[in-house]
Amino acid sequence: MLVPNPRGSGSYGITFAQENINNWGSGPFQDIVAGVDFLIERGIADPDRLGIGGWSYGGYMSAWAVTQTSRFKAAVMGAGISNLKSFYGTFSMPRWMKMYFKGNPYVRDDMYEKNSPINFIQNAKTPTLIIHGEQDTTPPVSQSYEFYNGLREMGVETELVLYPREGHSFEELAHQIDLLKRILNWYDSYLK
């Protein structure tokens, strides 16, 4: 399992953390793919049995990945963002997004559009499990609905699972167990 720390994430200082300004999708995705390629070259990962998944920004990266490549055979988008423009309009802290895109989507529409996975949904082919807590506001569950409906319209195998009473982090033990089982079953179904 590869757990990358792509540009824009913490732990490597302010310059590294700022590397995804105006570039939420392609730059960090290049870092993830470089890690995957490294594992393939070393014989650790099987290029015919690759899966991708993540939660929150990791869910966003999973959505980005399936709209950019078909090399992953299965994906899990957990509490992810699919449309940065609608996310801005429904997020409880829109000022946070201005930091990454140097303005709001009403002025910097181009940056929000080119970094939104939903705008590349026509490229998607990867079976994708989408998971979200119904009470999540970071991001709102509408982000998962948008991506799910887009995948369905494109004929991509997908499943949307919503958990009642759950926010961004799941609290109920039964939901945590079900979540893990669903993810494992999804990967088992496609990474044979």
Catalytic residue among 56, 82, 144, 189: 56
Has residue 22 got a pLDDT over 90?
no
26 belongs to a structural domain: no
- Tell me the per-residue pLDDT of 4-17, one tens digit each, with 9 for 90 and over: 878 777 667 777 67
Better-scored residue on pLDDT, 108 or 36: 36
Mean pLDDT of the chain: 93
pLDDT band at 160 (very low <50, low <70, confident <90, very high): very high
pLDDT mean over 19-37: 88
Beta-strand pair 128-133/74-78: parallel
13 belongs to a structural domain: no
Contact (CB, 8 A) for 25 and 115 = yes
> What is the pLDDT, as a whole number, of residue 51?
98
- Tell me the per-residue pLDDT of 91-146, one tens digit each, with 9 for 90 and over: 877 777 888 888 899 998 899 999 999 999 999 999 999 999 999 999 999 999 99
128 belongs to a structural domain: yes
State the Cα angle at 128 between 81 and 120, rounded to 5°: 55
Percentage of residues in the chain having pLDDT higher than 90: 76
> What is the pLDDT, as a whole number, of residue 100?
84
In the beta sheet, which residues pair with residue 137?
Answer: 140
CA distances in angstroms from 123 to 163, 164, 173, 183, 190, listed in the order given = 28, 31, 36, 23, 19
CA distances in angstroms from 35 to 3, 6, 38, 45, listed in the order given = 9, 9, 5, 10
> What is the pLDDT, as a whole number, of residue 14?
75
120 belongs to a structural domain: yes
- What are the contacts of 165-173 at 24+ separation with CB within 8 A? 165/133, 165/134, 165/135, 166/133, 166/134, 166/135, 166/136, 167/133, 167/135, 167/136, 167/137, 167/138, 168/56, 168/79, 168/133, 168/136, 168/137, 168/138, 170/133
Active site residue 11: no
pLDDT mean over 71-79: 98
152 belongs to a structural domain: yes
14 belongs to a structural domain: no
126 belongs to a structural domain: yes
- Write out the residue range of the structural domain in which residue 105 sits: 48-190
Has residue 41 got a pLDDT over 90?
yes
> What is the pLDDT, as a whole number, of residue 191?
96
Total Cβ atoms within 10 A of residue 41 = 10
> What is the pLDDT, as a whole number, of residue 5?
78
* Domain count of the fold of the chain: 1
Amino acid (one-letter) located at 40:
I
Both tokens of 132, joined, read 């979200």
> What is the pLDDT, as a whole number, of residue 67?
98
Say which residue the tokens 């044979």 belong to: 192
Catalytic residue among 9, 70, 82, 168: 168
Has residue 18 got a pLDDT over 80?
no
143 belongs to a structural domain: yes
- The separation between the first and the last C-alpha atoms of the chain, rounded to the nearest angstrom, is 16
Active site residue 189: no
CATH number of residue 145's parent domain:
3.40.50.1820
